[in-house]
Amino acid sequence: MSNKSTFNLDFFLNLHLLFQMKSIIPDHEVNRLQDIQGILEKTDIEALILDIDQTVVPFGKIIIPKDICDFIHGLQPKYRMCFLSNFPHREDRIQRIRSIEEQAGIKAIFSQRRKPSPDAFRLALDELKSEPQNTIMVGDRLLTDILGANNMGIETVLVQPIDRRTDPLFMVRIPRALQGPYLKFARSIKKQK
């Protein structure tokens, strides 16, 4: 992968969010996407923003596992949904996202600004014609999906990655290794307050 596609400048531009400890703590944690069913039933959520890599497909893969695809189809009559993806700068990546959209039957929003940038989440909310309080974000990464959505007041679900072995080393595997200890630390600070 090229540096342009993996380096997330917007993360560094939004580093201040890390100092608001509440921004890092997800409202919910689940093992797999399908586990959000129970959460949705208990809330007034009308719209879902879904991350793609490791939330609906293993990193870089093209075929959505059947159980996940069926689950997404099952939600469609009831919820407005979109994928939120960083702008893919290469034709093969655009084709990949187009295929994922087609399988899931939902649109992907391409953001020039990467998560956790508020601009990325605003784009998705505009697409869904939804307010943050009626929207839920599901993603596998604390420092992009959860940090950005929490900052916008969107309910958040941290999901376990589908297949860790497919994570690229530097920009994903290392931050993911730090994710657990950081979350523990943020929770301990919150408890003390």
Q: Which of residues 116-155 bind Mg ion (CB under 5 A)?
A: 140
Residue with smaller CB distance to Mg ion, 10 or 53: 53
CB of 172 to Mg ion, least distance (A): 8
167 binds Mg ion (CB under 5 A): no
Residue count of the chain, please give it. 193
Give Cα separations from 66 to 56, 71, 129, 147, 165 (angstroms). Answer: 10, 8, 28, 29, 20
Output b/e per residue, 26-44; b: 16+ Cβ within 10 A: bbbebeebbbbeebbeeee
Chosen residue from 51, 127, 155, 167 binding Mg ion by CB under 5 A: 51
Smallest distance, Å, CB 80 to Mg ion?
21
Q: Count the residues of the shown chain that bind Mg ion, applying the rule CB under 5 A.
A: 4
Q: Which stretch binds Mg ion (CB under 5 A): 43-51, 83-91, 103-111, 119-127?
A: 43-51
Contacting Mg ion (CB under 5 A), which of 8, 23, 54, 156? 54
CA-only gyration radius of the chain, Å? 16
Q: How far is the CB of 24 from Mg ion (least distance, A)?
A: 16
Nearest partner of 139 among 14, 16, 29, 15, judged by Cα: 29
* Closer to Mg ion by Cβ: residue 78 or 158: 158
Between 162 and 186, whose beta carbon lies closer to Mg ion? Answer: 162
- What whole-number distance in Å separates Cα of residue 92 and Cα of residue 65? 20
Question: What value, to the nearest 5°, has the Cα angle with vertex 137 and ends 143 and 2?
Answer: 50
Amino acid identity for residue 22 in this structure:
K
Least distance (Å) between residue 5 CB and Mg ion: 14
Residue ranges binding Mg ion (CB under 5 A)? 51, 53-54, 140
